[in-house]
Amino acid sequence: MQRENWAAILLLLLAGAAAYAHATTTTEEFSRYNVGWNGTSGFAAGEVHDLRNLEPGTTLLILAPDRPFTAGEVEYLRTFLDSGGLLLIADEDGAANPLLADLGSAIRVRQGNLSSLDRDHANPGLFTVRVVENATLFAGVETVRVNRPATVTGGDPLLETSILTWDDADGDGRPGRTETFGTAVVCASEGNLIVLGDPSLFINAMLAENPGFINNLQPVLIDAAHSRTGTTNPVINTLAWVRETPAATAALAALAVLPVAYLFGRKRDE
Partner 1 sequence: MNIQASHVILAAAAVAALILLAGEATAPLLYTAQNTSTAAHADPSTVPKESGKDADALIPLMGDLLGETGTLTLTIKLKDFESAERDLARYSELSAQFDNLVVKLDVTGNDIGDFQQNNQENLASLAALLNDTRRFEDLQRLEIDVLDGEQRMAIAYENETLRQKMREGFSAYAEREATVTGITDHYELNATPYRESVTNFAEIVNATEDRQEETGGSANSPLGIAVTPDNGRYGDLLSIAGTYAGGTAETPIKVYVDSRVAGNANLDASGNYACAYLVNRTPTGLHLAYATAGTVYSAVTAFEVLPGETAITLAVEGGSAVTCTGNLTTIEGRPVTGAPVVLRVDGTRLVSTETDQNGTYTEQIALPVGEHAVRAEFTAAGYPLDASESPTETVIVRSEGLSPLPFIAAIAAALGSGWYLRRRHRPAEEPAAEPPMTVSPEEEAAATPPPVEIAGLPPREAATVLFQALRARLGLPDTKTPRDCARLAPAHAAFFERYEQIRYAGETPTDDELRAMEAEARGGDEDAA
Beta carbon nearer to partner 1, 37 or 241: 37
Among 26, 34, 40, 147, binds partner 1 (CB under 8 A): 147
Distance, CA of 154 to chain centre: 24
Q: Note whether 41 binds partner 1 by CB under 8 A.
A: no
Using CB under 8 A, which of the segments 4-12, 54-62, 73-81, 245-253 binds partner 1?
4-12
Q: Note whether 40 binds partner 1 by CB under 8 A.
A: no
Using CB under 8 A, which of the segments 76-84, 116-124, 219-227, 238-246 binds partner 1?
116-124
Q: Note whether 57 binds partner 1 by CB under 8 A.
A: no
CA dist 260 to 10, 249, 250, 256, 266, Å? 19, 18, 16, 7, 10
Among 48, 60, 126, 186, binds partner 1 (CB under 8 A): 126
Using CB under 8 A, which of the segments 41-49, 122-130, 215-223, 244-252 binds partner 1?
122-130
Residues with Cβ < 8 Å from 113, sequence gap 6 or more? 125, 148, 167, 168, 169, 171
Among 66, 102, 156, 179, binds partner 1 (CB under 8 A): 179
Q: Note whether 205 binds partner 1 by CB under 8 A.
A: yes
Beta bridge partners of 144: 129
Q: Note whether 17 binds partner 1 by CB under 8 A.
A: no
Q: Please report, as a single letter, which amino acid is at residue 12.
A: L
Size of the site for partner 1 (CB under 8 A): 46
The Cα diameter of the chain in Å comes to: 88
The binding track of 221-250 with respect to partner 1, each residue x by CB under 8 A or -, is: ------------------------------
Using CB under 8 A, which of the segments 74-82, 159-167, 212-220, 258-266 binds partner 1?
159-167
Q: Please report, as a single letter, which amino acid is at residue 228.
A: R
Contact in structure between 194 and 89 (CB atoms under 8 Å): yes
Q: How far apart are the first and last CA of the chain?
A: 20
Contact in structure between 192 and 198 (CB atoms under 8 Å): no
Q: How far apart are CA 235 and CA 251, in angstroms?
A: 17
